[in-house]
Every structure is written in C-alpha cells, then in structure tokens.
Structure 1
Amino acid sequence: MREVFQQSLREVQDRLVEIAELVTISIEKATQSFGNSDVAVAEEVIANDNRIDQLAIELDELAIDILARQQPVARDLRIVVSALRISASLERMGDMAEHIAQLSRYRFPDKAVPKGLRTTFAEMGRLDVSIARKLTELLRTQDPRIADEIRNDDDDVDELHASVFEKVLGDTWKGEPVATVDATLASRYHERFADHAVSIAKKVQYLATGDWIPEATTPVHH
C-alpha cells in the first residue's frame, strides 16, 4: 500500500508540473498579446485557460481520491492538502494570464498598453514569465533556492505595480479614462500572478524541508 501511495504522490507532482508548464505558456502569450495587440495570440491564451481549468479539476479529483482511499495522516496528509492548494493557485495564475490577454482583445486594434507605461509593462511581463518558468522548475525539483528567487522577482513586480499607480494618479498623467482603467487592471493582474506564485513557492519550500518527495527518488517523466 505504501508503494501505491508513493506512486500516487508522484502522479500528483507530475500533474502539478504539467499545469505549471501550461500556465507558463499562457503568461508568455498573454504578455506578447498585451504588448503587441496581437488578438490571435490573445485568443490562444483564452482557449488554453479551459485546458488549465480542466487539468486542475482532474488533479483535485485525484487528490480527493487519495484522501478517501488511503486516508493519509501527518506529513503525507500535508502533502496532499498542499497539492490541492497549489492546484488552486495555479488555476488562478492561469486566470490572471487570461485577463491580461482579454484586455488586449478588448482594445484591438488599439494598443492595450497606455503610452508612457509600455516599458513598465514590458518589464512586469518579463518578470511574470521568469517567475512562471522558475515555478515550474521549483515544482519539478523542490529546490528551495528557486523559491527565494521567485520572492525576489515578486518584490520587483510589486515595485513596478506601485509605480503604475503613482503614474496614473499623478498630476502629469494625460491618459484617457479607459487608459487609466486598463493600466490599473493590467498592473493588478500582473501583480496577482506573481503573488500566487509566491504562495505556491512558500508551500513547496515548507514541504521541501522533509515533507515533499525528494527529486532523487522521484523521477519526472515527460
């Protein structure tokens, strides 16, 4: 039974990595569509979110089945419950990427990024993509150093998020009301994307202290 349980946990881990990989693709395409007003790419992100949602549901069902059939206790219980929470955060990250893509679709053929903020949003997008890639690697390896890097990147996103609000609330801001709303929403979506990644990183780092499956005994098959 223990071997069956360990195999189930490995499947949970593999599925988390798979979802994180799809989230990474979504944020890459979302930031591309947002910066370039590429409505075709935006549509890809929106369609991809359904796949992320479905995989998250399937993972949740697997975790609940493990809880019901094997009734884990102590650290094993924490692993399964943490996987459920991580799945929920990954699903929300996919939603944030979708929201960014929707902004570019709504404004097409106009630019979704207001003038004066394009450099800021380009950097926020770059950081979110970097965070997503690191998060995928963290879920694959449970390397606590990657969790630290994600938190550092999140601090940079927070600073940029604050700078957007300072800009649109400042006396020199000349943007139309719709541009102000777009900038505010887009900044918030980028910031929340990174926040969810930090939440996941904290959970993985906690489990990596001895409660998560070590990479050496948990090969990930692709």
Structure 2
Amino acid sequence: MRTTFHQELESIDGKLIGMTQLVQSAMGRATTALLEADRTTAGEVIDDDATIDALRREIDEHVLRVLATQQPVAGDLRVLVAGLRIDRDLERMGDLARHIAEVAAEDFPHVAVPVKLRGIVHSMNRVALRMAEQAKEAIGYRDKNSAAELDREDDEMDSLQAALYRELLTTDVPVHTALELALLGRYYERYADHAVSVAESVRFETGATA
C-alpha cells in the first residue's frame, strides 16, 4: 500500500513539474510575442493555455483518486492538499501569460511596448522565468527554503513594476497605451506572486512553519 501511495505521489509531482515547465514556456513566448509583434507566437500561447487547464483538471482528479483509494493521514494528506494548491497557482500563471499574449495579438502589427520601456519589460520577463524555474525546483526537491528565495525575487519584480509606472508618468504615450502597459506590469507582478505561492505550498507540505 505504501509503495503504491508513494508511486502516486511521484506521478503527481511529475505532472506538477511538467505544468510548471508549460507556464514558464508560456511566459517566455508571450513576452517574445509582445516585444516582437509576433502574432503567430501569441496565438500559440493563447491556444496552448487549454493544455495547461486540462493538466490542472488531470492533477485534481489524480489527487482526489488518491484521497479516495489510499486514505492518507497527517503528513501524507498535507502533501496532497499542497498539490491542489500548487496546480491552482500554476494554472493562474498560465492565464497571466495568456493575457500578455492577448495584448500582443490585439496590437498586431504594431509593437505594444514603446522603445523606452522595453528594457523594463525584458527585465520583468527575466525575473518571471527565473521564478518559475525556482518554483519547479521547489516542487522537485521539496525545498522548504525556496519561499524565502522567491520572496527576494518577488521584491525585484515589485521594484520593476514600480519603475514601469514611474516611466509611464514621464513617457508621452496615448492614454490607451499607458493603461495597457500598466495592466501588463500587473500581469508580470501577479505571475511572480503565484510563483511565491507555489513555494509556500511546498513549505506547508513539508510541515515547515517559518
């Protein structure tokens, strides 16, 4: 029974890691579409979000099946609850990448981000991808200290978002463009927040309290 249970947990972890790779790829490709006015890539990111959603449903069903058949208790139950939390956050990360791709698709053939602001968006994407990688490692290695590391990365993302807003106040762009860029900043910031939540769920799973 215990061997079967641990095999089920390994299978769930494998799916969570795969889901993390998908949302990481989605963010990278969405940013490419945004900065290069690449409508084809934007469309691919939008379409691929259905795969991420389907994987979340698959993981949820797997967890519920294990709950029903393996009767986990204490720490084992905590691991399964964490899995449900993690796939929720990962699905939301995928949604946020899709939102960025939608902006790119809507603005085609024009580039949505003015030249002056492209460096900030590049940096936000770099931090987002790094955080997704750290979230993946937290799942794979049960790293209970990853939440603190991701908190530091999240602080950097918050600083970049603030820098974007400051630039918007001094850059001569149409109101519609300014609002769109403010939303884009929010999408990257929320993506980072959900990566932090993934690490916090891993910490919950391991029973860590600080």
2:176 to 175, 178, 183: 178
Q: Write the deviation string for residues 37-86 of structure 1: whole angstroms up to 9, x where unpaired.
A: 11111111111111111011000000111112222221111110110010
**Aligned pairs, how many?**
208
The answer to whether the 8 A contact 2:34-2:112 is kept is yes
Which is worse superposed, 83-92 or 154-163? 154-163
Q: What amino acid is the match of 2:49?
A: D
The answer to whether the 8 A contact 1:114-1:179 is kept is no
The answer to whether the 8 A contact 1:56-1:91 is kept is yes
* RMSD between aligned residues: 1.5
Which is worse superposed, 117-126 or 191-200? 117-126
Q: Write the deviation string for residues 143-167 of structure 1: whole angstroms up to 9, x where unpaired.
A: 3454433221111001111222233
Return the alpha-carbon distance in structure 1 between the equivalents of residues 171 and 24 of structure 2: 33
Q: What amino acid is the match of 2:187?
A: Y
Question: What is aligned with 1:107?
Answer: 107
Q: Residues 9-158 of structure 1: matches in 2 within 5 Å?
A: 9-158=9-158
The answer to whether the 8 A contact 2:56-2:91 is kept is yes
Q: What amino acid is the match of 1:109?
A: P
Q: What amino acid is the match of 2:181?
A: A
Which is worse superposed, 3-12 or 142-151? 142-151
Gaps of 5+ in 2: none
Extract structure 1 runs of 4+ deviating beyond 3 A: 144-148
Return the alpha-carbon distance in structure 1 between the equivalents of residues 17 and 71 of structure 2: 24
- CA drift of 1:173 comes to 3.4
The answer to whether the 8 A contact 2:142-2:206 is kept is yes
What SS class does the counterpart of residue 109 from structure 1 fall into? Answer: coil
Q: Which has more helix, going by share of residues?
A: 2
What SS class does the counterpart of residue 116 from structure 1 fall into? Answer: helix
- CA drift of 1:209 comes to 5.1
Question: What is aligned with 1:220?
Answer: none
Question: What is aligned with 2:195?
Answer: 197
- CA drift of 1:24 comes to 1.2
Q: What amino acid is the match of 2:136?
A: T
- CA drift of 1:108 comes to 0.5
2:186 to 178, 185, 188: 188
Question: What is aligned with 1:219?
Answer: none
Return the alpha-carbon distance in structure 2 between the equivalents of residues 73 and 206 of structure 1: 15
Q: What amino acid is the match of 1:86?
A: I
Gaps of 5+ in 1: 211-222
What is the TM-score of this pair, normalised by structure 2?
Answer: 0.93
